[in-house]
Amino acid sequence: MNMTRRDLFKFAGISAAAAAVTGCSTTAFDPLPAKGAATSLNTANRVLGKHQVVIIGGGWGGLTVAKELKKIDSKFDVAIIEKNDSFMSCPLSNCNLGGVEGFNLGTLTHDYDQAIEKNGYGMLTASVTGIDRVAKMVHTSKGSVGYDILVMAPGIDYNYKGQFPTWDAAKIAKVKRLAPAALVPGGEHIALDRMVKNMDEGDVVITVPAGKYRCPPAPFERASMIANFMKKEGIKGKVIILNETAEIAKGAAFKETWKEVNQGAVEHRDNCKIIDVDVDKKVITYVQTTFANKEDTVGTKQTLTQSYGVFNFIPHNMSSPVIEMSGVATTADGFKKVKMASSAEKPVSFATATDANVFAVGDVVGHAIPPSGQSSIWSGKECAKEIAHILHGKSYSVASSLPYKSANVCYSMVNGSPEEAIMVNHEFMVSGPVIGSKGSVPKGDTVNDKYRSTALAKATREWYAGAMRDLFN
């Protein structure tokens, strides 16, 4: 993969201008190779330049850190490395699946050009393939980039291999293709959209994984939204949720909607562990554990099968492989959260525990906060403040801004006609060596004593418009 003139402009042009002011070196930045030389170029060894702050990932966390740094001091030399050439929002993607008015794949997609122009950071469209913390270099599919401070905001990956050790690469690839998880930005959302929109009849099955996973309310919102679409289009069938645990984020609020709005069109089954999937026959095999009472910790296991029309298979989640590439310490669980720094002076931080020059934001952080876009924006702003203080030779403690009310406000659209939504509100606080959180699910319609309300649906749309302004303007 060779770098185009446009890539170079986006990455080098702006950051080189910043470097001229700050004295940060971009001298090693290599222009396009001479005509005809491109094929013999060893891109892996090519040094593309050095920046004060390099951010891996142009998603919710990474874009926020970059913008905030430039807002604090326009002279900072900041560059993002992002593998996709456009941004796709996971938040509100369920509204597209639900056929909610005004939502389509275009509503979710944004180009990066406006954000780059407005905010003045650089961007390299390339995949990160390695990180050398000793040399302070990030290796990418297009060459290597040096840094003074590195921010890792690469989001999540799927852990099919850990969940199904006997599946080979071909089976995993086929399951990914024919039963897309649609939890990361990109083509999986387009594939799931095609499958739902082309469906004639049949049940839609959605799995909910155990362990930490991206946006805990998302699978349940998706169930409500797909049920909304099926009702609107007169498609026969229901949405079945196979939940590996019994936990439902915003549980009381979702259950209210499923009972009163969906009336049997959404069925939640708890403690269902997926054993196998036959994507050719469209059959899922799972074991459901039923517990007689609270004292029964073993339960009774039953092996069951479920056929489907569309399968949205959400496997166990884990941190993006970028985290492992960096070699920073992670938690021992399957997700491998980044261990965060903690000291008497700064009890909580977005610096990693392993390396004071390497920070992490977004879903990969080892704080006890919900993995959401809104948390990533809040964290991104705090992380930028920490880094800006370091670059200015000062000190800042994230603890000084805590406790913080409504640090995460997360809406879920549950009905399309009338448009209604529910919400959860999280306060963040210092909780030992990490940032902790406490959530509450308020009733949106206090007159009728309901969680869902049309006012919250309006707030959902406003939140999304505001978040997109935050990230791209």
* Contact status: 155 vs ligand FAD (CB under 6 A): yes
Q: CA-based Rg of the chain, rounded to a whole angstrom?
A: 23
Min CB(257)–ligand FAD separation in Å: 16
Q: Which two tokens stand for residue 47?
A: 């040094």
* Contact status: 218 vs ligand FAD (CB under 6 A): yes
Min CB(224)–ligand FAD separation in Å: 12
* Contact status: 154 vs ligand FAD (CB under 6 A): yes
Q: Which of 50, 133, 214, 250 binds ligand FAD (CB under 6 A)?
A: 214
Report the C-alpha gap between 421 and 455 in whole angstroms. Answer: 8
Q: Which of 71, 83, 273, 450 binds ligand FAD (CB under 6 A)?
A: 83
Torsion of CA 289, 163, 314, 462, to 10 degrees: 100
* Contact status: 407 vs ligand FAD (CB under 6 A): no
Report the C-alpha gap between 231 and 262 in whole angstroms. Answer: 9
Hey, what amino acid is at 206?
Answer: I
- Give every CB contact of residue 173 below 8 A, 6+ residues apart in sequence: none
* Contact status: 320 vs ligand FAD (CB under 6 A): yes
Report the C-alpha gap between 393 and 356 in whole angstroms. Answer: 14
* Contact status: 362 vs ligand FAD (CB under 6 A): yes
Task: Judge residue 448's burial from the number of C-beta atoms within 10 Å of its C-beta, 0-12 exposed, 13-18 middle, 19 or more buried.
Answer: exposed
Site string for ligand FAD, 27-46 (x = CB under 6 A): --------------------
Report the C-alpha gap between 40 and 236 in whole angstroms. Answer: 57
* Contact status: 410 vs ligand FAD (CB under 6 A): yes
Judged by beta carbon, residue 69 or residue 322, the one nearer ligand FAD is 322
Report the C-alpha gap between 297 and 271 in whole angstroms. Answer: 12
* Contact status: 58 vs ligand FAD (CB under 6 A): yes
Which region, judged by CB under 6 A, interacts with ligand FAD, from 8-16, 43-51, 58-66, 164-172? 58-66
* Contact status: 372 vs ligand FAD (CB under 6 A): yes
Judged by beta carbon, residue 223 or residue 410, the one nearer ligand FAD is 410
* Contact status: 124 vs ligand FAD (CB under 6 A): no
Report the C-alpha gap between 70 and 80 in whole angstroms. Answer: 12
* Contact status: 59 vs ligand FAD (CB under 6 A): yes
Residue whose CB is nearest to ligand FAD in the complex, by number:
59
* Contact status: 81 vs ligand FAD (CB under 6 A): yes
* Contact status: 143 vs ligand FAD (CB under 6 A): no
Task: Determine which helix (DSSP H) or strand (DSSP E) holds 450, and give its type and residue range.
Answer: none
- Give every CB contact of residue 259 below 8 A, 6+ residues apart in sequence: none
